Amino acid sequence: MFRDDNKLDIVYGNIVITDEKCRHSHTFGRNMSLDDFKKGYMPPHPGTFVRRRLFETYGLFDEGYKICGDFEFMLKCFMDDSDKIKYINRTIAVFREGGKSSDYRYSKIREAEMKQIISKYFGESTKESFTESSDNPNALCRLWLETLLLEEKGITRLLKSSNVKDVAIFGTRKMALYLYKDLQRENFRIVRFLDNNINMQNKKIYGISVESPEWLAKNHVDAVIVSIESSHDEEVIKQLREITGDELFIVSWKDLVKGA
């Protein structure tokens, strides 16, 4: 692609993230814009090719950041050179999940660095678009674990009180797998996984099909559980409401944990 178009500075595609513990793979990658960077998203680093001249222009990664040096570099490229960046819907790399960027122990460092970079390049007001939910995911995961180990029950009380039986899970990352296992052990029927990621649609997780959220327009479930860890779960719930109306029970995993 660089040979065909000498003006291109960056070409990026998709990556497959594998989790050997869960025996699950997730394809990540799509066309991105500056609005994605404001929310803390960037093209997948291992699936990105950059011309050397960009490093000559912007310098190397800032080693003052322990985790987010790649994020800042890519942001500078997108701000100044977006017309010379191209996304291709192809798998470029496969890697096993792990390392500092996905380790819970480093999540606070990553969050602080990301906010600092977003504030630096977009201003203080846009920093809030990345701010994590006031419901700390790590704390909620601990509460979930305590419920499982100490009370020997799952986080399904809200579902049971609403007479829910058939469930769809929005999301296909690790949190969705946790939800699947919890719901399964308490005899709920998981009908579908839902995902906006077209690269995950039509695949199967634990033998269950992954569909577009539009699947809800023509098919019935008693409830949809959103498995997004960040504060963007509110955006997903709004999207699902536009598809289904106000009657369907739609809830975030965070609310299930708090109501357990």
Taking residues 23-40, report their average pLDDT: 89
pLDDT at 81: 74
pLDDT at 130: 56
The secondary structure of residue 131, as a DSSP letter, is P
Instruction: Please check the confidence at residue 98 and state whether its pLDDT lies above 90.
Output: no
Instruction: Please check the confidence at residue 131 and state whether its pLDDT lies above 70.
Output: no
Q: Give the pLDDT band (50/70/90) at residue 125.
A: low
Residue pair 195/201 in contact (Cβ under 8 Å)? The answer is yes
Among candidate residues 27, 109, 16, the one with its CA nearest the CA of residue 69:
109
Q: Give the pLDDT band (50/70/90) at residue 107.
A: confident
Taking residues 173-181, report their average pLDDT: 92
Taking residues 211-234, report their average pLDDT: 92
Instruction: Please check the confidence at residue 241 and state whether its pLDDT lies above 80.
Output: yes
3 state SS of 228? coil
3 state SS of 64? coil
pLDDT at 133: 47
Q: Give the pLDDT band (50/70/90) at residue 24.
A: confident
Q: Give the pLDDT band (50/70/90) at residue 232.
A: confident
Residue 23, Cβ density class (10 Å: 0-12 exposed, 13-18 middle, ≥19 buried): exposed
Provide the whole-model pTM.
Answer: 0.72
Q: Give the pLDDT band (50/70/90) at residue 75.
A: very high
Side by side, the strands of the sheet bearing 208-211 are 204-205, 208-211, 189-194, 166-170, 223-226, 249-252
Taking residues 5-34, report their average pLDDT: 88
C-alpha span between 124 and 115 (Å, rounded): 9
User: What b/e readout covers 95-110, taking b as 16+ CB neighbours within 10 angstroms?
Assistant: eebeeebeeeeebebb
First to last CA, the chain: 52
Among candidate residues 29, 113, 9, the one with its CA nearest the CA of residue 70:
113
pLDDT at 134: 47
What domains sit in the chain, N to C, each tagged with a CATH number?
10-127 (no CATH), 137-258 (3.40.50.720)
pLDDT at 82: 79
CA dihedral 229, 231, 236, 241 (to 10 degrees): 120
Instruction: For the beta carbon of residue 1, count every other beta carbon within 10 angstroms.
Output: 10
Tell the residue number behind the tokens 């990026």, with chain if given.
Answer: 12
The secondary structure of residue 88, as a DSSP letter, is E
Q: What is the CA radius of gyration of the chain?
A: 20
The one-letter amino acid code at 59 reads G
Helices marked H in 107-173: 107-122, 124-127, 137-150, 157-161
